[in-house]
């Protein structure tokens, strides 16, 4: 008890106490006011990151396009920056080829895995297999690259004898293996959220399990499945290390999977590891390619969000 209270003849006046408390701002109260602003500041950093990415890509790309015409960049069909040819088509072609191969591998395998896990496997089997499958998603891509170069390429070489060491086929194949868990677990989530009443209705009409899958579960979960595929494709487009290690460094506008190609991401790595001086045209070309890549993946991600929001079946 402080002196102020005693002077009033040891009488506690609650009203006074409250008033006094209101007037003085304690350390605690100040903290209470400052903390939300600090937290907001941290939350804004993620927004600043996005702004930073856009700023970086745009500013340096504009720098690039003042040296190389934007029309030549997007319509040219020859990419060899060290001799001044900047037609991005071979890099985009390489990226699309890898993505196509990966999709062909991952979509059937991922979807079938999802159907197995969601519809056929019992609880015990699912609880073992699903986490193991998800380990595939946690393996660093540089390890996949190593695997593609030292195992998958020799494996394909025993089937296709004149396959080169660097080729789109094994790169794309391993990217496909990497995105299987993405397709599988997102699709499985979508299938799991289909209510059992629908399945039981179909069983009641005499449908087999397979017919339930094809005619009830897949149509009902379609938006989630398509969204998972689009997301997986976006991952494949942005994948870097596997294609850098296994698919080669030859910008090559081809749809022959046995040839060596170069993707957008692989070029960025190649240029960043080489002797690229700051401010040179090649340095700026990193960002022009990076921006093209960013637009591709952002478009895919937005598409996935749109599909899962727009075509969602509510039960």
Partner 1 sequence: MLGQNEEGIKKRMEGRVLKNKIMAGLFFLATSVGLIFLVLLFYRVLTQGIGYLNWNYLTSGPAPYPEEAGIWVGMIGSIMLMAIVAIFSVIIGVASAIYLEEYASQNKFTEFIRVNISNLAGVPSIVFGLLGLTFFVYIFNFGYTLIAGGLTMALLILPVIVVASQEALRSVPIDLHQASLGMGATKWQTIARVILPAALPGILTGTIIALSRAIGETAPLIIVGAATAIYTLPDSLLAKYTAMPIQIYNWTARPQEEWQFVAGAGIIILLAVLLLMNSIAVLIRNKFQQRL
Distance CA 114, CA 224 (A): 12
Q: Which stretch binds partner 1 (CB under 8 A): 1-9, 15-23, 64-72, 239-247?
A: 239-247
How far CA 245 is from CA of 42, 82, 89, 295, in Å, comes to 37, 21, 21, 24
Residue number, 74 or 146, with CB nearest to partner 1: 146
User: What's the residue count for the chain?
Assistant: 315
Q: Quote the distance between the C-alpha of residue 29 and its chain's center.
A: 43
Contact 191, 115 (CB under 8 A): yes
Other CB atoms within a 10 A radius of the CB of residue 120 amount to 12
Nearer to partner 1, 29 or 77 (CB): 29
Of these, 14, 40, 159, 205, which contacts partner 1 (CB under 8 A)?
A: 40
Is residue 86 helix, strand or coil?
strand
- The residue among 86, 56, 81, 92 whose CA lies nearest residue 70 is 86
List strand residue ranges (DSSP E) for the chain, in order.
79-80, 85-86
210 binds partner 1, rule: CB under 8 A: yes
Neighbour-count burial of 136, counting CB atoms closer than 10 A to its CB (0-12 exposed, 13-18 middle, 19+ buried): middle
205 binds partner 1 (CB under 8 A): no
Please report, as residue ranges, which positions from 84 to 103 form the binding site for partner 1 (by CB under 8 A). none
Compute the radius of gyration of the chain from its Cα atoms: 29
Of 68, 91, 92, 133, which one interacts with partner 1 (CB under 8 A)? 133
The site map against partner 1 for 112-131 (x = CB under 8 A) is xx-xxx--x--------x--
Distance in Å, CB of 4 to partner 1, minimum: 23
Please identify, among the stretches 15-23, 72-80, 105-113, 197-205, the one whose residues bind partner 1 according to the rule CB under 8 A.
Answer: 105-113
Give yes or no for residue 147 binding partner 1 (CB under 8 A).
yes
Task: Please report whether residue 164 would count as binding partner 1 according to CB under 8 A.
Answer: no
Contact window for partner 1 (CB under 8 A) among 14-22, 38-46, 69-77, 251-259: 38-46
Residue of the chain from 97, 220, 269, 282 that contacts partner 1 (CB under 8 A): 269
Which two tokens mark 213?
């899958």
Q: Please tell me whether residue 109 binds partner 1 under the rule CB under 8 A.
A: yes
Residue 139 makes contact with partner 1 by CB under 8 A: yes
Q: How far is the CB of 135 from partner 1 (least distance, A)?
A: 6
- Assess 272 for contact with partner 1 (CB under 8 A): yes
Q: Residue 180 interacts with partner 1 (CB under 8 A)?
A: yes
């Amino acid at each position: 008890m402080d002196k102020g209270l005693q002077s009033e003849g040891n009488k506690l006046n609650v009203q006074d106490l409250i008033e006094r408390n209101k007037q003085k701002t304690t350390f605690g109260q100040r903290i209470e006011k400052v903390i939300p602003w600090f937290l907001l500041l941290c939350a804004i950093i993620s927004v600043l990151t996005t702004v930073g990415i856009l700023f970086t890509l745009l500013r340096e790309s504009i720098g690039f396009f003042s040296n190389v015409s934007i029309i030549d960049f997007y319509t040219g069909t020859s990419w060899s920056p060290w001799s001044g040819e900047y037609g991005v088509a071979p890099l985009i072609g390489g990226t699309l080829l890898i993505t196509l191969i990966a999709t062909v591998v991952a979509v059937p395998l991922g979807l079938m895995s999802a159907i197995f896990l969601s519809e056929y496997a019992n609880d015990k089997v699912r609880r073992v297999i699903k986490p193991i499958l998800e380990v595939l998603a946690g393996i660093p891509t540089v390890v996949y690259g190593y695997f593609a170069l030292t195992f998958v390429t020799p494996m394909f070489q025993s089937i296709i004898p004149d396959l080169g060491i660097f080729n789109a086929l094994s790169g794309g194949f391993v990217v496909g293996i990497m995105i299987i868990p993405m397709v599988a677990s997102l699709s499985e989530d979508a299938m799991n959220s289909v209510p059992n009443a629908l399945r039981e209705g179909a069983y009641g009409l005499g449908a087999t399990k397979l017919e339930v899958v094809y005619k009830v579960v897949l149509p009902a979960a379609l938006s989630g499945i398509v969204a998972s595929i689009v997301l997986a494709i976006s991952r494949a487009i942005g994948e870097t290390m596997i294609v850098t290690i296994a698919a080669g460094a030859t910008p090559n506008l081809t749809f022959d999977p046995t040839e060596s190609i170069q993707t957008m991401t692989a070029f960025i790595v190649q240029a960043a590891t080489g002797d690229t001086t700051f401010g040179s045209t090649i340095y700026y070309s990193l960002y022009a390619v990076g921006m093209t890549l960013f637009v591709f993946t952002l478009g895919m991600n937005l598409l996935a969000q749109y599909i899962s929001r727009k075509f969602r079946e509510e039960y």
